[in-house]
Structure 1
């Protein structure tokens, strides 16, 4: 065992001593626990209480993601012009609290319907778009650029810890309280997040000054810079086909594999354990093989275990073991990919274009998911659940092909300076 090199950077946990980042991290972490409960509770409410089938599950997922397709780019243009994006994030949290709290309220009054769930998911999706296009500005305001990887590692660790605690707690809460009342905890977490964000005191990048909408500036920047452009295409492809699995996974696991909500929650939780492992390893992986290769390795690690999902079958212990193995390996891979890719994109995008380019990224990443959800529901009803899961699996595995010619394999460190906005027009 060798002594630590004094030149090594301080451990990521040291960032929590910085007040601005600590509040940002706290807001992020507490709301993630509720989000994980929602991911399980709303689909289970649709399946167990309202007898939703594949088509309804496809529409439910689609309406939640449709705002990402419609609103991310105009939302990013709006956010770039604002001086206080943090305030918009607080408003988003308060709105999501009201939307999520409406579900248990409607159930208590015996008025819960699929239409109510569709409207709730759309409202939460729209407010989440607002939150996300402002988020990277606030992140950059509370953290020095040379700590982006470490900060993202902590955030990914929180996401993974929530993925461990949330589904297990959600599965138990669904069984004890029924699915709608499990959402009460999620609603409260949005209030706590709003309080934490409201206490941050950090100077954000000044608003962009430009004529017109400025929407084309973001597209020109993405198309002019090959490496981030192909990264965005790869992530979009992975999101599209992974949605095939995510849309029907609850229905597939409960109807075809016979898993109970509690066991299903535990399977979801294993994904979080893999994410915790990936978040812990990511800074070391980045320093060992480089930032870009870490993105590629993480993408491969996320997608290659997915064929185990449609392969699952047989006795329940075997099914749970196979699904858990897929979840753990994929969770580890996606954590490494997210940490490296987010750090690279925050560093390489100019501050004056940050929200607009992030709007393009959100559209490509989350905006394709409604398409995947509707296709999954349609194909699930026409072909059956398992064949549809195979379609999503094969597409997800092939998504890594976008990254191989992108130039990411040559990116060792964070860019010293953002890629020039002028390059979008001149390159």
Structure 2
């Protein structure tokens, strides 16, 4: 935090994440409450939010490796702000429709693809190699705090302003985030493409690096499955809380804030957990031991069962954040700098590309089976996602390799 440039990225991320939480509350609530969308339409909207990772995720990584990442971050924020402001304007004008929401979600997804790939590739440029895991922990901690504060704030804003107008707050946060990224002083040199480089060849190189590495392949499989079932849960959770249980937007925000408290604790606890268990065991144990608590969500009813379900989901989020920080830091330290953008984009393609599929599957199943059966399917599926990492060498590797060595690196300091 004493590093000026890291502070700017930290604040930009904090503000942006707060806005994202507002939009995660408001956009589906616009569909459910303002436009009376059914389960399939809500599932399709959720699919549109992440479809860009599936369609342009791979070329985005190759492009980001050719550009200065600071500029990509600024452009990503500005694009998302401009696109999102059309929703309250359309609502005010009386011509807001579901097709427009789909288009907005798709375009915001495009901005997010480039922002996320550049953001994860930029951090190792701003801090020393021995600070990468600490930097990720700090950024994940502020993201987790926003997961707690954001849904409650978003729920209250939706309740006070209505869902479409609450999105104005999200637009402002993207603009503030861009301003802080502008304040980063350190400039990257413009990447020089290799002789004879082509977009197709660079994409293939990124794919080969990820798929050809046994440890990366295991974490990609685990995360992809987790996101598939997580997307199913997210789609049905909104409908369960808003339509089945008929909770007010403010109460939904409080519920999601309780759930997100587990993420904050996970970000705080990751370093001592890694010190105790080792990096590899932490990766699979975090998912294996937290997933069963997700079985409480399909049982949610008004009253104490609602808050028991929230507590169970909080434990699940605790494990997800511990897993995510550990495997993300490993990926960043393992990958040579020239491949960071393509590695992150390939991972995003593989692990986020499963989310639109999960959202659509949830919408289709929700139409035929109902909300709670889909939540049961997703919760049971989450209990199996740890298997790719458990069945890999990660199970016993306390210390994981880095780009600087062909053998396992020295264990990260936990002082």
Equivalent residue, structure 2, for 1:197? 181
Equivalent residue, structure 2, for 1:35? 20
Moved more, 27-36 or 211-220: 211-220
Equivalent residue, structure 1, for 2:149? 165
1:90 equivalent among 52, 71, 74: 74
Which digits, 9 at most, give the CA deviation of each residue in 1:183-221, with x for residues without a partner?
111110101110111111224476263322211111211
Map residues 176-191 of structure 1 onto 2, 5 A cutoff.
Answer: 176-191=160-175
Distance in 2 separating the partners of 1:415 and 1:277: 27
Distance in 1 separating the partners of 2:62 and 2:115: 13
Contact 1:157 1:279 in 2 (8 A): yes
What runs of 5+ residues in structure 2 fail to find an aligned partner?
407-415
Map residues 257-336 of structure 1 onto 2, 5 A cutoff.
Answer: 257-313=245-301, 316-336=302-322
Tell me the SS of whatever aligns to 2:96. Answer: coil
CA RMSD of aligned residues (A): 1.6
Contact 1:33 1:166 in 2 (8 A): yes
Equivalent residue, structure 1, for 2:356? 370
| 97 and 320 in structure 1: CA distance in 2 versus 1, 3 angstrom threshold | same
State yes or no: 1:137 paired with 2:125: no
Equivalent residue, structure 2, for 1:101? 85
| 38 and 301 in structure 1: CA distance in 2 versus 1, 3 angstrom threshold | farther
Distance in 1 separating the partners of 2:286 and 2:259: 14
Equivalent residue, structure 1, for 2:135? 151
Which digits, 9 at most, give the CA deviation of each residue in 1:308-354, with x for residues without a partner?
111223xx222322221122212211121111111001111121111
State yes or no: 1:249 paired with 2:237: yes
State yes or no: 1:21 paired with 2:6: yes
Distance in 1 separating the partners of 2:242 and 2:158: 14
Contact 1:80 1:208 in 2 (8 A): no
Which digits, 9 at most, give the CA deviation of each residue in 1:59-116, with x for residues without a partner?
101111110100110000111122x111011011001111111111111111211111
Contact 2:296 2:313 in 1 (8 A): no
Which digits, 9 at most, give the CA deviation of each residue in 1:124-164, with x for residues without a partner?
00010011121122111111111112111111111111011
1:233 equivalent among 210, 221, 226: 221
Equivalent residue, structure 2, for 1:77? 62
2:38 equivalent among 53, 62, 68: 53
Contact 1:231 1:406 in 2 (8 A): no
Runs of 4+ in 1 over 3 A off after TM superposition: 203-206, 413-416
Equivalent residue, structure 2, for 1:402? 388
Which digits, 9 at most, give the CA deviation of each residue in 1:358-394, with x for residues without a partner?
1111111111111111111000001111111111111
Distance in 1 separating the partners of 2:25 and 2:343: 31
| 202 and 106 in structure 1: CA distance in 2 versus 1, 3 angstrom threshold | same
Equivalent residue, structure 2, for 1:120? 104
* Residues matched between the structures, number: 402
Tell me the SS of whatever aligns to 1:307. Answer: helix
Moved more, 135-144 or 124-133: 135-144
Moved more, 286-295 or 202-211: 202-211
Contact 1:171 1:261 in 2 (8 A): yes
Distance in 1 separating the partners of 2:287 and 2:227: 11
Deviation at 1:249, TM superposition (A): 0.9
Map residues 345-424 of structure 1 onto 2, 5 A cutoff.
Answer: 345-413=331-399, 415-418=401-404
Distance in 1 separating the partners of 2:345 and 2:281: 25
Deviation at 1:409, TM superposition (A): 2.7
Tell me the SS of whatever aligns to 2:385. Answer: helix
Contact 1:159 1:272 in 2 (8 A): no
Equivalent residue, structure 2, for 1:3? none
Tell me the SS of whatever aligns to 2:107. Answer: helix
Distance in 2 separating the partners of 1:208 and 1:385: 51
Contact 1:141 1:205 in 2 (8 A): no
What runs of 5+ residues in structure 1 fail to find an aligned partner?
1-15, 421-427
